[in-house]
């Protein structure tokens, strides 16, 4: 609706087409996946009458998948419906077209008539046939007689059931909903000489499903679950909450293997409010041994190996550590962003970030955190010979200049493609795989090192 409604009054006795029987929630559990999916398990005590009756459960997710709903009770389920035509001013006015409404001004004046239009402005027809047009409702309140049939205040699951007896029953309801997601975030601080780091891990749980889950049992599933779905757009009006650890180092989640995934159980109830991102501490680790490397990647699978002239490249800074118990880690690390920090002697400063995928225990974590400022790489293809129609020989020269105050070693990874043979090299190399070789190139402080190698290609 284009106009603004200052105040909206309904003089109603709330009546709906179907009355649900009274229910009391006993417990609720929410399992959140990495891929915009949550599973809700809602246990309630419901007074179910004998014979055919209806059960209505309100406050379910607005983004529920109705085809995933399952209910377990002592009786027969005849029909199931999901009602989501929620009440708002525009819908009520639309249903009051050709019916009488009242506009009450701030001064107490009352305009009454049959509503003819509510799209761009209010148009009323008086009893004598005349028209009242109100282009701006800033100074008016709208009054209608009752709530139109078919509109509800909250999304509602509705069942028609058949029971042999009248009694209070424990009913189990479960369903899937989109609009729920979680991801891990890691904050690391390197020590002075870049040999160790302290690592804090948080999980961020996003709830945009359209309802609040109060005092819920929370589980997080880490892994790539195959889902056939349309991704929901992110909301911009989300609240933000952070739950600090109960005590330093106290684990809040218990991790275990689950099918081909890993599941994290929060060891206490928590409330997931609608449109909220909640952060909860996952784990903390100190004195993790790390290795800092300098990496230069040469060549590319997207361009021919031959025909390259002089080029300059960046030398990446990589930090690696082993996710092992003897390195103060050794637990499955869910995918997420790792932010690295380091002290400059006065304060902690941000130095780079990278994403990690789901990483099992005992695997290596590699983080590319930026490019080295004081290391320069220059590459030249110095020779390109055609020996025959099927044989080519090429010579490459990579110059690495180190303007730092200490000696370094740069790992050079060269892409060669297929059908190659290294004829000669100024430094030893290792065959990484069928298309790549690596060199470890020492470079003295404020010095340079030239790496030369020749390659023969046979086609």
Give the CA distances from residue 94 to residues 29, 105, 197, 402, in Å, rounded to whole numbers and listed in that order: 38, 21, 62, 73
Provide the pLDDT confidence category of residue 309 given band limits of 50, 70 and 90.
Answer: low
pLDDT digits (tens, 9 = 90+) for 4-37: 333 333 333 333 333 445 578 899 999 998 888 9
pLDDT digits (tens, 9 = 90+) for 258-295: 555 677 888 889 999 999 999 988 889 999 999 999 99
Give the CA distances from residue 142 to residues 14, 105, 373, in Å, rounded to whole numbers and listed in that order: 18, 9, 66
Euclidean distance between CA atoms 363 and 232, whole angstroms? 33
Provide the pLDDT confidence category of residue 245 given band limits of 50, 70 and 90.
Answer: very low
Higher pLDDT, 307 or 421: 421
Average pLDDT over residues 305-309: 51
Q: Are 85 and 150 in contact (CB under 8 A)?
A: yes
pLDDT of res. 21: 54
Euclidean distance between CA atoms 352 and 325, whole angstroms? 26
For 61, other C-beta atoms within 10 Å of its C-beta total 25
Contact partners, residue 288, CB within 8 Å, separation at least 6: 196, 197, 198, 199, 321, 327, 328, 329
Higher pLDDT, 376 or 250: 376
Higher pLDDT, 35 or 166: 166
pLDDT of res. 250: 53
Judged by average pLDDT, the poorest of 123-132, 245-254, 395-404 is 245-254
Highest mean pLDDT among 107-111, 259-263, 300-304, 398-402: 398-402
The conformation of residue 191, written as its DSSP 8-state character, comes to -
Give the CA distances from residue 109 to residues 7, 104, 142, 244, in Å, rounded to whole numbers and listed in that order: 15, 6, 12, 55
Euclidean distance between CA atoms 212 and 28, whole angstroms? 11
Provide the pLDDT confidence category of residue 391 given band limits of 50, 70 and 90.
Answer: very high
Domains (range + CATH), the chain: 1-178 (no CATH), 179-289+318-366 (no CATH), 375-458 (2.60.40.290)
**pTM of the model as a whole:** 0.69
Average pLDDT over residues 327-333: 91
% of the chain beyond a pLDDT of 70 = 83
Q: Are 194 and 292 in contact (CB under 8 A)?
A: yes
297 by Cβ neighbours in 10 Å (0-12 / 13-18 / 19+) ranks as middle
pLDDT digits (tens, 9 = 90+) for 331-381: 889 889 999 999 887 889 999 999 998 898 899 999 999 999 999 999 999
pLDDT of res. 255: 66
Q: Is the pLDDT of residue 198 over 80?
A: yes
- Which residue stretches of 249-382 are H helix? none
Judged by average pLDDT, the poorest of 146-155, 161-170, 389-398, 426-435 is 146-155
Highest mean pLDDT among 200-209, 250-259, 305-314: 200-209
Higher pLDDT, 88 or 343: 343
The bridge status of strand 261-266 relative to strand 167-177 is unpaired
Q: Is the pLDDT of residue 246 over 50?
A: no
pLDDT of res. 52: 92
| Neighbouring-strand partners of residue 143 | 9, 102
pLDDT of res. 96: 85
Q: Is the pLDDT of residue 197 over 80?
A: yes
Closest CA to 414 of 254, 301, 324: 301
Contact partners, residue 112, CB within 8 Å, separation at least 6: 100, 101, 102, 103, 124, 126
Q: Is the pLDDT of residue 228 over 70?
A: no
């Amino acid at each position: 609706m284009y106009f603004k409604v200052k105040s909206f009054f309904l003089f109603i006795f709330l009546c709906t087409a179907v009355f649900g029987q009274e229910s009391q929630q006993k417990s609720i559990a929410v399992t959140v996946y990495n891929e915009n999916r949550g599973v809700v398990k809602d246990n309630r005590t419901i007074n179910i009458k004998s014979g055919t009756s209806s059960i209505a459960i309100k406050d379910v997710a607005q983004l529920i998948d109705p085809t995933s709903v399952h209910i377990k009770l002592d009786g027969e389920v005849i029909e199931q419906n999901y009602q989501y035509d929620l009440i708002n001013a525009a819908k009520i006015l639309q249903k009051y077209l050709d019916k009488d409404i009242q506009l009450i001004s701030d001064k107490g004046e009352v305009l009454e008539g049959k509503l003819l239009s509510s799209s761009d402005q209010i148009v009323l027809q008086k009893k004598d046939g005349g028209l009242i047009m109100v282009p701006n409702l800033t100074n008016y309140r709208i009054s209608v007689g009752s709530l139109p049939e078919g509109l509800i205040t909250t999304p509602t699951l509705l069942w028609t059931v058949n029971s042999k007896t009248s009694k209070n029953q424990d009913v189990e309801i479960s369903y899937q909903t989109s609009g729920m997601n979680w991801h891990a975030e890691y904050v690391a601080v390197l020590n002075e000489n870049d040999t160790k780091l302290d690592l804090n891990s948080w999980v961020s749980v996003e709830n945009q499903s359209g309802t609040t889950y109060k005092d819920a049992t929370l589980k997080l599933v880490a892994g790539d679950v195959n889902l056939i779905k349309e991704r929901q757009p992110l909301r911009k009006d989300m609240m933000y909450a952070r739950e600090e650890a109960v005590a330093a180092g106290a684990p809040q989640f218990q991790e275990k293997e689950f099918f081909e995934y890993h599941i994290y159980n929060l060891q206490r109830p928590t409330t997931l409010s609608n449109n909220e991102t909640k952060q909860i501490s996952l784990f903390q680790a100190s004195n993790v041994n790390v290795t800092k490397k300098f990496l230069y990647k040469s060549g590319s699978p997207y361009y021919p190996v031959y025909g390259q002239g002089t080029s300059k490249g960046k030398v990446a800074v990589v930090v690696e550590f082993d996710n092992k118990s003897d390195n103060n880690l050794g637990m499955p690390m869910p995918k997420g962003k790792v932010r690295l920090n380091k002290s400059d002697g006065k304060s902690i400063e941000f130095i780079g970030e990278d994403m990690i995928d789901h990483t099992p225990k005992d695997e290596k974590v590699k983080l590319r955190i930026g490019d080295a400022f004081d290391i320069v790489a220059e590459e030249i293809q110095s020779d390109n010979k055609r020996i025959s129609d099927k044989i080519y020989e090429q010579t490459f020269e990579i110059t690495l200049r180190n303007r730092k105050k200490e000696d370094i070693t740069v790992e050079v990874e060269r892409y060669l493609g297929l059908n190659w043979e290294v004829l000669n090299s100024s430094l030893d190399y290792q065959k990484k795989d069928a298309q790549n070789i690596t060199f470890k190139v020492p470079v003295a402080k404020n010095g340079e090192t030239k790496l030369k190698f020749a390659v023969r290609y046979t086609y």
